[in-house]
Amino acid sequence: MERINPATGETIETYDEHDEGQVEERLSRAESTFETFRDWSVAERETKLAGVATLLRERMTEYAELMTREMGKPIAQAEAEVEKCAWVCDHYAEHAGRYLQDEQHPSPPGSTVKTVHEPLGPVLAIMPWNFPFWQVFRFAAPYLVAGNVGLLKHASNVPECALAMEDVFRDAGFPDGAFQTLLISSDRVDAVLSDPRVKAATLTGSGPAGRAVAGTAGEHLKKTVLELGGSDPYVVLEDADVEAAATTAAWARNLNGGQSCIAAKRFVVHDAVYEAFIDRFVAEVESFTVGDPMDRDTDVGPQARQDLMEGVHEQVTGSIDAGATVLTGGEPLDRDGAYYPPTVLVDVPQGCPVDAEEVFGPVAAVYRVHDEETAIEKANDTEFGLGASIWTDDLERGERVASRIDAGCTYINELVKSDPRVPFGGVKESGYGRELSEAGIKEFVNRKTVWRQQPETSNEDEIPTE
């Protein structure tokens, strides 16, 4: 596994994959650790998780620089990512006990019935490189505090990030086997997932990867949560605050170099405000500084890998060939590193690459529509269904439009974002299941019914119906 600095193209370091013996050792350790870790009280696990938050903040500079070196995230955004990871630890350290408390149910005289929430065991997480810490903590914080143990298969271009997160959980007092990294290639995931010691899996990534994981897990009847791609619509209606919508739109598309599942990608703008939106949007996009991600003045760094940058450019050139018009950007920058400028395309034909595919880079496709109904149709004209943003001064109208857009999360007058306090996930080709909040922590627990009956009140004549 090569660590290549995407800002320079230089190889930083090379890591050897874990061999079969090392993988076996980690699986065995996960299984044995779970047998004792599951008996920890939620309060004990909350305390350790609070300790993780403290260490993350103490090591913020170290971890931010690590992310920036491995995948090119601008340093200020990397620091914000570390803080967000600390926040999700804070959240579950405070609320896990309430989320996991027993649920009481109505029952006959002489009995009590409740649901308890018990951990499942080792959970395999297959995670991407674009938010190398946040994607991991989004699963690790709730699953560990619930009593599961984690096995991380991270993207091959961020191995040191993966190992650093293993260290931070151990240093905070979690058992050695509670959170472990597997340095393995994608073609070895199937064997790990098939192992009977692994009880469930979560994946953030592409549709093909999600189908492969879901297929293997299905064969073995293992629970999965999938957060896949997105081509989020950003709908600007005629009564919107155009300046606010355009300014936020530029950031919603270009944060993290546009390398985000929930980035706004298709901008659907009402004809009455189209010209004003375009003028402001392009001006804002062109104001961004593209450069060295270690420089605090940089807004957009390099793409994470050279091949990924080339793939984005192929989507742009294919769309131009189909009839799209470039208003700004559209060519790789002539410098060392995988730099691609913020790009805006209009007159986008239906079915061209930037219309029909997920574009994982700083490229915005803008559409002109004549009414609300057409805007909704265009917003839903995608196989994906992760998030959507709707801009209008009429909040009731915004909710009405949001109710008709096929997405797992909709935001009115705000960009789409993940937040520890609310459920996160998609529909259609964007996956299934939910992360974060109470919904996320309950994805990988056994919701066990416990019925207690006083012996003297048991009704021996009662005939079970099932």
Q: What is the C-alpha to C-alpha distance for residues 162 and 151, in angstroms, rounded to an integer?
A: 11
List, edge to edge, every strand of the sheet that includes 264-270. Answer: 325-328, 343-346, 363-369, 264-270, 232-236, 387-391, 409-412
CA geometry: angle 56, 62, 64, nearest 5 deg: 80
To the question of domain 2-228+426-450 being in CATH 3.40.605.10, the answer is yes
Q: Which CATH number fits domain 232-412: 3.40.309.10, 3.20.20.80, 3.30.470.10, 3.30.43.10?
A: 3.40.309.10
> Do residues 206 and 259 touch, judged by C-beta distance below 8 A?
no
pLDDT in tens, the chain (466 residues): 889 999 999 999 999 999 999 999 999 999 999 999 999 999 999 999 999 999 999 999 999 999 999 999 999 999 999 999 999 999 999 999 999 999 999 999 999 999 999 999 999 999 999 999 999 999 999 999 999 999 999 999 999 999 999 999 999 999 999 999 999 999 999 999 999 999 999 999 999 999 999 999 999 999 999 999 999 999 999 999 999 999 999 999 999 999 999 999 999 999 999 999 999 999 999 999 999 999 999 999 999 999 999 999 999 999 999 999 999 999 999 999 999 999 999 999 999 999 999 999 999 999 999 999 999 999 999 999 999 999 999 999 999 999 999 999 999 999 999 999 999 999 999 999 999 999 999 999 999 999 999 997 655 545 555 6
105: its two tokens: 């149910």
Positions annotated as catalytic residues are 227, 261
Count of C-beta atoms within a 10 Å radius of residue 416: 24
pLDDT recorded at residue 456:
79
Burial of 188 (0-12, 13-18, 19+ CB in 10 A): middle
pLDDT recorded at residue 460:
52
pLDDT recorded at residue 170:
98
Q: What is the C-alpha to C-alpha distance for residues 138 and 131, in angstroms, rounded to an integer?
A: 10
pLDDT recorded at residue 145:
98
Q: Which of 227, 233, 144 is nearest to 434 (CA)?
A: 227
pLDDT recorded at residue 462:
55
User: For the chain, which residues make up each domain, given as ranges?
Assistant: 2-228+426-450, 232-412
